[in-house]
Structure 1
């Protein structure tokens, strides 16, 4: 990785509702900034609720095959070769291969605990992996192929809550007793182990520092409640105007709030923080 800016910059970005449009998942308004960042050798690192299976083709589409990614709200980290520790991560049989780090418990454990909690509390919710392809398409607007990839969970379970607010709090408390967390995204609630986007970002910043011998300056961009830990983990932050109705409470000393939503807001935030530097 050639460092053209000192200290080196890292961009950590949410996808749905941020770099990608909330409704049609388009990203064309962000293309010029992605090109500028690539030309300056500034890694753009997706930090998303999407699965590893969803991210692999999307990284190619966005031109981000050489950068790490954080999937399932921080449960999974993907490391390309340049970000791997030679002894801890690299596979001698495939030195150029992508390696995964799991920061959460696996989905089999989550499914078992959710079944127990559902029975004990008598609550009503639907888990995304149990939904049909048609149901996933209806709830997300994804096409059939991407809806199938969205069900391939490794360290989290998205769910649709169909019960009262009081029962939601009882549900959250019982999850906490199992050292599990409940995070609100743009469309789904997400159940996972004791991990989040911010912890994964902090892990990757530490990895970059260890490999490069110096700490980077980091920028985070996101639009939803599940992005607060991401934004708080970076040196500067962009809260993109959300297409959803969920309140986002954040107090960051270097925060910019966009006027535009989605990829237009993403480009607006990039211009605010790096427009003069990468002119």
Structure 2
């Protein structure tokens, strides 16, 4: 009798804005066939994004990703569905089927207090997203009013628009580092958070699944921006999607594919490169 060999356990970690979602209209239609193929093959697609939990919950439903974990706020927040929860460490007996949220960073209230102190000490100009009006967020992001409101619901990071010089940005970064805080660049905003990034959150989830299943999964990462470099480097294979921004992305990954297309078309191109034959 021929022995049946189970397919390898695979995980797909993906940035959203500018990657799975279009930079301008946030659509994902070009990626839909690949999302369906991955779902049929039982390959979890895990969002890894600067978006908040409030933004992600309806997006997960629309994308059909309600049964997979998510990483929000550039690694500060991890959401675990029931299948990814440790019976002793995570499960709430009163809500065993609910989502468990873990914070890997300092909380947003602390960050806002420290940013106020640093702003006064340096005399620099920047705008924190939670302090911006809904109208200003809409203008900066293109989001509608409801999603702009969700973007203000920060738990472990603070996006900001920098309105000062490059020299003062370096001084700002130094003062943040003195508080063990980091500054990372996204597609539209700079992000201030604790000493965490997308890559560390990805590694945490890979280790969690390994502990639950007793197997080391193979991982693919997809992203387009500077804040995705840690995500891509944490995965076995990577896709750098051609960005619609002007920020340089410096990465040295032994198994990196750079796309020709942007956004969800680039996302599908990268999936075809790495898994097209395997999931034909």
> TM-score scaled to structure 1, two decimals?
0.98
CA shift at 1:117, angstroms? 0.2
CA shift at 1:76, angstroms? 0.1
State the partner residue of 1:77: 78
- Unaligned regions of 5+ residues in structure 2, if any? none
CA shift at 1:99, angstroms? 0.4
1:254 paired to 2:244 = no
DSSP-derived class of the 1:248 partner: coil
DSSP-derived class of the 2:150 partner: helix
1:9 paired to 2:17 = no
State the partner residue of 1:197: 198
Cα distance in 2 for partners of 1:126, 1:243 equals 23
DSSP-derived class of the 2:25 partner: coil
The number of residue pairs the alignment matches comes to 276
- Unaligned regions of 5+ residues in structure 1, if any? none
Change (3 A) 1:5 1:195: farther
State the partner residue of 1:50: 51
CA shift at 1:20, angstroms? 0.1
Please provide the CA RMSD for this pair. 0.7
CA shift at 1:6, angstroms? 2.8
Pairing 1:145-164 to 2, within 5 Å after superposition: 145-164=146-165
Cα distance in 2 for partners of 1:235, 1:11 equals 10
DSSP-derived class of the 1:229 partner: helix
State the partner residue of 1:244: 245
Cα distance in 2 for partners of 1:19, 1:213 equals 30
Cα distance in 2 for partners of 1:266, 1:5 equals 27
> TM-score scaled to structure 2, two decimals?
0.98
CA shift at 1:7, angstroms? 2.0
DSSP-derived class of the 2:160 partner: strand
Change (3 A) 1:145 1:5: farther
